[in-house]
Structures are given as C-alpha cells and as structure tokens.
A and B are shown apart, each in its own frame.
Chain A
Amino acid sequence: MDPIAKSLKQRSLSAKIETRGRLLTQFCTLLIILLVLAIFGFIATKGIAIFVQDHGSLVDFFTKTTWAPDQTNIHHRPIIGALPMIVGSFAVTLLAVVLATPFSLAAAIFMTEISPKRGNKILQPVIELLVGIPSVVYGFIGLAVIVPAVQKLFGGSGFGILAGTLVLLVMILPTITSMAVDALKAVPRHYREASLALGATRWQTIYKVVLRAAAPGLMTAIIFGMSRAFGEALAVQMVIGNAALMPSSLASPATTLTSVLTMNMGNTVMGTSANNALWTLALLLLIMSLLFNIVIKYLAKRGEL
C-alpha cells in the first residue's frame, strides 16, 4: 500500500498516547472509588458488630449516658450510652463555628472589599501560617494557656467544652476565612459596579449585594469549618478533660467522639465488644462527615452564579 495512505489509516502516535492516558486516569479513578467503598464497607461492618454480634441496643446508644462497652447490663447487653460524647462533639463544634464565623467573615470582607492590597500582603500569609500549624501544637498551647485561664476565670479544673471551643475556634478560623475569601472573590465585578452606579455606598454594596450573592459560598465555608471541627481529635482531646459525663457547664470536663476513639483504641482487643463499640463511634463520625459533604455539595450547586 501507498505509505502515505498507510500512515493516514493508522492511528497516530498522539492518538495512542491519548488512549493510554485516558486508560491510566480511568484506572486511577476506579482505584480511588474502590478505596472509598472499601473503607466504607470495612467501617460499616465493624461498626454494626456491636448491635448485630453483641446485641447492643441502638436506642441506648443515642439516649443513655453510661459508656462501659466491656461490661453488660442486666439484659446482657453491652453498656453503650454514647450520648455524652455526641453532645460534647456537637457542643464544641457548634460553639466554635458560631464564634469563628463573625471573625472569619470580617477578615474575608476586609481582604476582598475594603483593603484587598493589605489583605493579600499581610492577612493571606498569616492565615496560611495558621493552617500549617499542626494540631498538637494548638493542643499544647490550649493546655498551657487556655486551660489555666479558664480555670482562673470560671473555677474547676479548666478542662471542658469552653477550652475545647477556644482551641477549635483558632483552628477553624483560617479554614472558614480562606474559603469565604474565595466565595467573595467569585462575586462578579459588575454586581459591585452596578450597585455603586445606582448610588449605594460601599457598605451598602457589601451588605446588600456582595454578601447576598456570595451567601451559598459563605455557607459552604461555614459547613466546611464545622466538618473540620467535628473531626478534630488531638487538640480537643488535650483540653476537654475526657470525662464521659453529660456536660453540666462549659467549664466542666466533657468528652467528644474523637477523643474517646483515640484514647481507648490502644487498650482494647480486636473483636471484643469494647473494640466493636469504638468502631461504632468511628462509623458515626464517618456518617457525620458524609452528611457535611452532602450539605456542601447541595450548597455549592445552589451557589453557581
């Protein structure tokens, strides 16, 4: 055959490379999907073992306040009242987010609307620095500074939800701020221009136009901060006191799902009810983070401008 016709009928080199590249990326994507499914399957089977294998009660898990999974009650069911840690987890998370949001929004507005130049030069590096600090350092500062301060102001041991909230506040502040900055930057320039042209002041423009337009993005930032706060283990564990008690005040020792999980994993034996109960906590954490992700996806969809 004519060499030119042959070369034209053959698949070109770049087409081959493209096919190969596509196969490779598809394979990697598949691998990641399988990995996620495997993790879900593993934690789910381990997490329901306490109910299926050890006959624990699902109602007890969410309503009772005594946590002693290696012992059984009079009905020969393991004692798995997880309410104190569920309440503890939600309390520190919500309080931290409520306290962090105004500061984060203010910083983000300053960086994008009021003084973008100084914001980018000073605030941006500071926020990036805060993100990079390992959580054990936050925990240690909490232990050395915040706990004694809470102790002086409110009495008691100083360990508790308040100390946990303050540590988390500092940890999620940069997360929410940087995502809020992105959301505000995504508001098209002509929105602002139109508002100003109509005679609105800068503050009116920020409040009535920019913040409204960016609302879904800002909500995403807040939920993202929540999911980070909910999953944080080490720093909170160091300052919350780890007492499986229903929190009675902000300055009394409490506990969270993550701190019970990390503290006790090493002291239990695989396959026992004490170990299975911890996997149930892990499953609950996984489900919560999944929920947070779904909410974020939903908000992001609504927020497309």
Chain B
Amino acid sequence: MKRFPKLFLLGVVLLTVTGCSQTKQQTVTAVGSSALQPLVEAAGEQFSKQNSQAYINVQGGGSGTGLSQVQQQAVQIGNSDVFAEQKKGIQASNMVDHRVCVVAVVPIVNKKVGVDNLTLQQLQAIFMGKIDNWQAVGGPNLAITLVNRAQGSGTRTIFEQQVMQGRPSKKSSEQDSSGMVRQIVKNTPGAISYVAWPYLTKETPALKINGVKLSVASVTNNTWPIWSYEHMYTTKNANNETKQLIDYILSDNFQKHEVRQMHYIPIKQMHYQQDATGKTTRIKVRD
C-alpha cells in the first residue's frame, strides 16, 4: 500500500507538467463533411507549420453535424457538401458561407458489369428501380444491386438533386461512408453506387454520363452534371485564425496544387455556378 501515494504524486506532477502549461495557442476546430475532410486536414497541417500559434483540429461526422455544430457555436468551422439553406433546422442567415472548392460525384460499378456509359435518364431509372437488370442498358444479364449513401448524407444529397431531381430513389442498401460503398461495389456482382471524386479508385470502374468522361474540364464547363460546392461555414464573428485558414485554402498556391492533386476542382476554374436550389448558370471566369 505504501506505493500508492507516490504514484498519485507522480500523476499529479505529470498532469501539471503536460496539461496546465499555458500557451497562447489558438485552436480551430473544423467538423463535418467527410468528402471535404482530407483536404481540410492537409490544409490544416500545412497551415500549422507556417503559423505555430494555430492548432487545427479536423473531424468528420457528416454535413449535418458540421452545420449544426457551427450553428451552436460549438466549433469554428462547419464543413458541408450542401448549402445551409438545404438543411432543415439550420438558420443559414446566421452563418457565413465560404465556398472553397468543387467536388464531383461519380457513379461507380462492379468490374463485371462491363457497362461504361449511361445517360442521365438511365441512371435515374436505375436508382428509381425502374431498370433492374443490366441487360436493359446494354450489359450482361445480371441483376442490378443498388448501394446508396445514408439519408441526408452530403454526397447523397448532391446525387439526388442532380440525378434524381426530386424523384424518390428505390429503397435499397445504405452505407454511411464512401469507403464502405467502394468496398461493397468492388465485391458485389452487378452493384452500382456513387462516390465523391477524391474517393474514386481503379478497383471500381467509373461510368461516363451521356458519353462524357469525368475530368476537371468536363466539370468546370458543366458537361459533367453531378457536382457541388464544398462549403466551410463559419459564424459571423469568426476569429483570426479561422479566417486565415480559409484564406490559406483559397490561396492560388493551395488551389493549384493540393486541391488539384486530391481530385477536387479549384473554385476559380468553374465556368458555371450553382445556387441552393440546384440551378446552374454560366459565369465569367475571373482570371
């Protein structure tokens, strides 16, 4: 029993040394969209190297979590794939919307399907359950297995807005992460789903839509129809570090390198813009 007081003392000393040392470090916490998470993580890492005062903490949790946490002022930045206006229960007017890049969503299929092109109408019919065999779209005689993302997830919201256009999708298997979706499509014959471009790998072939292949150019001139902004929402009185981090992500250097490398599309290259209702209009490129 004699050892315990000593151990206790050691614990107290350790706590004091590690926890209570006062610094002026500012913590910026960004929560939300898992589609945007890798990019913000990369930005946070680089930003902290340049600015030792800032500690950037990035977490996933989904667009809904991001928006509601920033609304409650629990975090500084809420990452979202969708406009705050699109989410029920969020007061969009209380927040500032920073659009940092564009993400494209791409339909993926199992390797054995052998179909490499679908029209937007065919894609819609498949996810509505009207077409349930690959034969109908020029593939083998194989049942179509739908894999959806969870209701209310950002990627699914983009897909429903641009592809389903208000029509209900067939009840099917739902998954809560892009990684799981990819794994299931890879292993299940006849499976079709969709992922954000940064999650696309060679294991699951990507489809062309209306004969258009996914590329930066096809997204920027809107011939690739499924895309959306990546938003970083902040409160109106965001602190300095938060502003600096967002400026860093929007800087030309970061947009040209990391954003492109990780398969997001730099915001300034877009020839089209989109509003919260999903309407796209042509704009002039600023540079």
Provide the residues of chain B in CB contact with A157, threshold 8 Å.
Answer: 145, 173, 184, 188, 191
Q: Of B61, B152, B174, which is within 8 A of A274 by CB?
A: B152
B88 near A272 (CB under 8 angstroms)? yes
B201 interface hit (Cβ, 8 Å): no
- Known: A68-B151, A157-B173, A241-B173. Contact between A268 and B188, CB under 8 A? no
Mostly helix, strand, loop or mixed at chain B's interface? Answer: mixed
Provide the residues of chain B in CB contact with A243, threshold 8 Å.
Answer: 171-174
Stretch of B63-71, B211-219, B229-237 on the interface side: B63-71
B79 to chain A minimum Cβ distance, whole angstroms, is 12
Mask: chain B, 61-83; 1 = CB below 8 Å from A; 0 = not? 11111011001100000000000
B150 interface hit (Cβ, 8 Å): yes
What is the bound-complex CA distance between A147 and B63, given in angstroms?
A: 30
A167 to chain B minimum Cβ distance, whole angstroms, is 15
Q: Give B32's nearest chain A residue, CB to CB.
A: A266
A264 near B89 (CB under 8 angstroms)? no
Q: Of B71, B88, B188, which is within 8 A of A151 by CB?
A: B188
A156 to chain B minimum Cβ distance, whole angstroms, is 8
Within 8 A of A (CB), among B46-72: 60-65, 67-68, 71-72
Q: How many residues of A contact B (CB 8 A)?
A: 32
B90 interface hit (Cβ, 8 Å): yes
Stretch of B11-19, B175-183, B242-250 on the interface side: B175-183
What is the bound-complex CA distance between A147 and B152, given in angstroms?
A: 26
A303 interface hit (Cβ, 8 Å): no
Candidate in A143, A157, A159 with the most chain B CB atoms within 10 angstroms: A157
Q: Give B174's nearest chain A residue, CB to CB.
A: A242
A267 near B153 (CB under 8 angstroms)? yes
B171 to chain A minimum Cβ distance, whole angstroms, is 5
What is the bound-complex CA distance between A275 and B67, given in angstroms?
A: 14
Mask: chain B, 84-97; 1 = CB below 8 Å from A; 0 = not? 00011110000000
Provide the residues of chain A in CB contact with B151, threshold 8 Å.
Answer: 68, 70, 264, 267, 274
Return 17 A-B CB contacts under 8 Å, by A number.
A70-B88, A157-B184, A238-B180, A241-B173, A243-B172, A244-B171, A244-B174, A263-B175, A263-B176, A266-B62, A266-B65, A267-B65, A267-B150, A269-B68, A269-B71, A269-B89, A273-B88
B-side residues, CB < 8 A to A, are 60-65, 67-68, 71-72, 87-90, 145, 150-154, 171-176, 180, 183-184, 187-189, 191
